[in-house]
Amino acid sequence: MRIGVLALQGAFEEHIKMLNALGVETFEIRQLKDLSEIPDGLIIPGGESTVMSKLLDELNIRSRIIECVNDGMCVFGTCAGLILLCKDTGDERCKGLGLLNCQAKRNAYGRQLGSFQTTEEFKGLGKIPMVFIRAPYVSFAEDDVEVLSTVDDKIVAVANDKTLATAFHPELTNDLSVHKYFIDMIKNR
């Protein structure tokens, strides 16, 4: 199994460490040619969704990601990655990939609650630690989207058959379970 991590900007190294700890071969995606072969999975990390959206277009990577998903690749997005996966990002400066039939709300927790940690239930995994940093949440999810976790009645983790997204950063904890969940999703596709 090979999983590529989008390494244009943001917290990509932490994802690579998590995947390596789980024994998965990883590589960084910095330009279009890095996706010339379709990997089994792709991780879109946290960072700044508006900047990443612009870079996806400038580097012509956007349509290639969609093509790869249509050919069977699974995707996992955290925080800014979640925003980018949504059909509606709620911000015109950030174009969504449309891989999740969801609406995101960027910087949804306001200034004071910009960053916080909690432990909450994640479907199938039990209670796991969650780190939120200027996080979004999912303000609307269509019926084909499974809600995997909510915090204070806000949706913070969702999935469909090939796409997983969390508003929080599992890669900034010691808990490997969400990355393992993604790997299982790839194995079961």
User: Is 171 designated active site?
Assistant: yes
As a 3-state breakdown, the chain gives helix, strand, coil percent values, each rounded to 5, of 30, 35, 40
User: Is 169 designated active site?
Assistant: yes
Q: Which residues contact ligand GLN (rule: CB under 6 A)?
A: 46-49, 79-80, 83, 106-107, 133-134
Least separation in angstroms between CB 82 and ligand GLN: 8
- Active-site residue among 14, 15, 94, 169? 169
Least separation in angstroms between CB 182 and ligand GLN: 17
Between 24 and 79, CB nearer to ligand GLN? 79
Least separation in angstroms between CB 174 and ligand GLN: 18
Between 7 and 80, CB nearer to ligand GLN? 80
Count of residues in the chain: 189
Q: What is the DSSP letter of 13?
A: H
Q: Are 138 and 160 in contact (CB under 8 A)?
A: no
Q: Which helix (H) or strand (E) holds 56?
A: helix 49-58
Between 26 and 78, CB nearer to ligand GLN? 78
Between 110 and 124, CB nearer to ligand GLN? 110
Q: State the angle between helix axes of 62-70 and 49-58 in degrees (0 to 180), rounded to the nearest 10.
A: 90
Measured distance CA(55)–CA(110) in Å, rounded: 26
For the annotated catalytic residues, the residue numbers are 79, 169, 171
